[in-house]
Amino acid sequence: MSPYSIILNSPALLCPLAGILGLMVGSFLNVVIYRLPIMMQRGWKQECQEFLGLPISEESIATFNLALPGSHCPACNAEITALQNIPVLSYLLLKGKCANCQTSISIRYPLLEVLTGLLSIIVVYQLGGQIETLFALILTWVLIALSGIDFDHQLLPDNITLPVLWLGLLLSLFNIFTDPISSITGAILGYLCLWTIYQLFKLFTDKEGMGFGDFKLLALFGAWLGWQYLPLIILLSSLMGAIVGTAMIIFVQRDKNIPIPFGPYLAIAGWIALLWGEKINTLYLTSVGLI
């Protein structure tokens, strides 16, 4: 048996490797969550300036992407070295402060790294060493990034959602997670379902109940998992959204007129469906006597 086979068939070896990889990916996701919205805003600004014939601002044309400029402290602009950028460990060694100016570093960064590592371990433990596991990890990381961006900006970027939606359709051609007919039907119904709810809500209240990014995210899950999992995802996400939203209004005194991003709840529900959807659906159908 080859070393690769030993690792793939041994959870005791595979899970720690997944955790370490998840920590490193989580560090990168912190960059994506912070920088991608800024990149998009600068791009929109430049497009508007070009359309209106206005001078292009220096900020719009300055190099700013996921790689450049290098990591630096936003307070003192000091460069963050590789040793200061080790997931979680560097935060602990620096005691949560910039090495140069001692400005506090948000605990959100190591928490997201830990979250990514833990979810990666759960995916590997649940699915084992098969090809589906690799793509499930990719989807998990994408959902973390989308949730973070939506939480901060109420935005689900098309340049993340749409390529991953197409990936789900492509995987269905090889019967990974679902078959092509279920995948295509799921993508269509996933989008139309929330789009219809949006239109009806707007018709009766003259308000927008959700964003178009939510439609595309549900379409993404339909493409990856098939239309059969859409009711479960909608039910779970709505239930979680109602519980969390009500709790925030009651206990945190959040203004009920302030919109709450729905993307993170969809992401959590879709992730649960990815790993345990078949068991949940079977349990439900058995309980109501349909199987």
Residues 6+ apart with CB under 8 A from 17: 7
> What's the predicted TM-score (pTM) here?
0.92
Give the separation between CA 22 and CA 58, rounded to whole angstroms.
36
- The stretch 247-255 carries a mean pLDDT of 73
Please write the tens of the pLDDT for every residue from 43-54. Answer: 888 888 888 888
- The reported pLDDT for the residue numbered 290 is 55
List, for residues 18-29, the tens digit of each pLDDT value: 999 999 999 999
Where are the strands (E) in 78-138, listed by range? none
Instruction: Determine phi and psi for 79, rounding to 5 degrees.
Output: -70, 140
**Which of 57-66, 137-146, 239-248 has the highest mean predicted lDDT (pLDDT)?**
137-146
Q: Please say whether the dihedral angle defined by the alpha carbons of residues 98, 102, 103 and 106, taken in this order, is positive or negative.
A: positive
Instruction: Please name which of 159, 158, 152 lies closest in space to residue 261, comparing C-alpha atoms.
Output: 152
Interval 93-126: pLDDT, tens: 888 898 888 889 899 999 999 999 999 999 999 9
**Residue (of 196, 198, 177) closest to 188 by Cα position:** 196
Least confident of 72-86, 135-149, 152-166: 72-86
Confidence of residue 270 (pLDDT cuts 50, 70, 90): very high
Q: In one letter, which amino acid is 123?
A: V
Q: Are 219 and 182 in contact (CB under 8 A)?
A: no
Looking at the chain, how many residues does it have?
291
